[in-house]
Amino acid sequence: MKIRSAKVIVTCPGRNFVTLKIETDEGLTGLGDATLNGRELAVASYLTDHVIPCLIGRDPQQVEDIWQYLYRGAYWRGGPVTMSAIAAVDTALWDIKAKAAGMPLYQLLGGKSRNGVMVYGHANGADISETVDEVAKFLDLGYKAVRAQCGIPGLPSTYGVSKDKMFYEPADADLPTENLWSSEKYLDHVPQLFERLRDKFGFGPHLLHDAHHRLTPIEAARLGKSLEPYRLFWMEDVVPAENQAAFRTIRQHTVTPIAIGEIFNTLWQCQTLIEEGLIDYIRATVVHAGGITHLRRIATLADIHHVRTGCHGATDLSPVCMGAALHFDTWVPNFGIQEYMTHTPETDAVFPHSYWFEDGYLHPGDTPGHGVDIDEELAAKYPYSRAYLPMNRLQDGTMYNW
Ligand code: GCO
Ligand code: MG
């Protein structure tokens, strides 16, 4: 079998997605997600201008060799653009391999380890009462786990709070909007939210929270301590992780479980976190962490150190990434949870897929491959439209982490 052609499809059915489609001389096709929120066209160019010419004529069955070729061979290693491009190729090749075998992808990875993939939904509100109502909606839909975010008194806007509840989309403008941040106000408010949620819903549902890289290690330690009575499933991205050793401070002070990794691209960015047992959940996923081939290595290292997976699954990860992640989740022994933000109906129509939600769990389906396709004619009706994530400043104007 040989790779005959490959192309990049950019479409914006409500938000931008970049998809790689690889075609073989035997007529099999495979799809990989290459979406990098706010930097979509950089990955599209990386693939079209630098990767696709090297793929033509290669044997698509050599998934590992092609991964190594693109990673080692480029000399320049890592980074979100490179690793999203490699991930797209890798995902498309696994899709082809599974289709050639006539099997759903999870079978090739090692088969089912569970009957369904537990997911968490996103509840958010302008204030605590609104967030409580939103959590109730998710529980009514059958979710076993819900992430809760809410507005902070004294801050006009913040991460995780949106007007459009079910389709929360942070890339909200064609140039970055700006938020204002105060860790003091945030740290005072968040425990009140979880106190109300536990009062109302008890300790049955899993509750999660994302601090979106905004605290210092000692502030994060305080957050974890103050949330201990409410027994969260995890607190996510409490500090930026360039300095992995900083997590030692947080770990010393709190037993609230720690999750991080949605922006990680390689194992090296979480090696210390995992090997020293500084985290409980690793959030890396297929598209930004080098595809199934590399994510599998991260998960295997994590397993040895009692760290479980919690793949990123926001709306900027396309249904192609979600489909691949669900096969991975169905197999991976140290599965923790999968994030799930539903895509808009327009996006679902462009990407017909075999996965489905039922009673708090997602199921990958049994279609050969990863089970996600693209309707190219429909995709062409939604041209790229530039969109950026917001930025964030402290109240005195200092540039800060979003
Ligand atoms: C999450 C994330 C997202 C990101 C988004 C950026 O936990 O789902 O933090 O909301 O901000 O994916 O592109
Ligand atoms: Mg997050």
- Residue-level pLDDT, tens digit, the chain, 402 residues: 999 999 999 999 999 999 999 999 999 999 999 999 999 999 999 999 999 999 999 999 999 999 999 999 999 999 999 999 999 999 999 999 999 999 999 999 999 999 999 999 999 999 999 999 999 999 999 999 999 999 999 998 888 888 777 777 889 899 999 999 999 999 999 999 999 999 999 999 999 999 999 999 999 999 999 999 999 999 999 999 999 999 999 999 999 999 999 999 999 999 999 999 999 999 999 999 999 999 999 999 999 999 999 999 999 999 999 999 999 999 999 999 999 999 999 999 999 999 999 999 999 999 999 999 999 999 999 999 999 999 999 999 999 999
What residues act catalytically? 159, 212
Phi, psi of 159 (to 5 degrees): -60, 140
Q: Whose CA is nearest to atom 8 of ligand 1?
A: 314
- Adjacency order of strands within the sheet including 391-394: 178-181, 391-394, 399-400
The residue type at 212: H
236: part of which helix (H) or strand (E)?
strand 234-236
Q: Which atom of ligand 1 is nearest to the CA of 122?
A: 8
Distance in angstroms (rounded) separating the CA atoms of residues 263 and 261: 5
Q: Whose CA is nearest to atom 10 of ligand 1?
A: 314
Ligand 1: residues within 6 Å at CB?
Answer: 37, 170, 210, 212, 262, 314, 316, 339, 389
Residue 165 has a pLDDT of 72
Distance in angstroms (rounded) separating the CA atoms of residues 84 and 276: 27
In the chain, where does the domain assigned CATH 3.20.20.120 lie?
110-366
| Predicted TM-score (pTM) of this structure | 0.97
Helix (H, G, I), strand (E, B) or coil at 369: strand
Distance in angstroms (rounded) separating the CA atoms of residues 96 and 222: 48
Residues in the chain: 402
Q: Which atom of ligand 1 is nearest to the CA of 317?
A: 12
Distance in angstroms (rounded) separating the CA atoms of residues 150 and 193: 8
Tokens of 165: 């509840």
Residue 164 has a pLDDT of 73
Residues 6 or more apart in contact with residue 355 via CB below 8 angstroms:
319, 322, 323, 326, 362, 363, 364, 365, 371, 372
CATH number, span 110-366 = 3.20.20.120
User: How far is the centre of ligand 2, averaged over its atoms, from the C-alpha of 285 (Å)?
Assistant: 12
In the chain, where does the domain assigned CATH 3.30.390.10 lie?
3-108
Residue 157 has a pLDDT of 85
Residue 172 has a pLDDT of 86
Helix (H, G, I), strand (E, B) or coil at 309: strand
User: How far is the centre of ligand 1, averaged over its atoms, from the C-alpha of 4 (Å)?
Assistant: 35
Angle made by CA atoms 348, 312, 13, in degrees to the nearest 5: 25
Q: Whose CA is nearest to atom 1 of ligand 1?
A: 314
Phi, psi of 195 (to 5 degrees): -60, -45
Contact 249, 273 (CB under 8 A): no
Give domain 3-108's CATH architecture.
2-Layer Sandwich (3.30)
Residue 358 has a pLDDT of 98
Residues 6 or more apart in contact with residue 130 via CB below 8 angstroms:
150
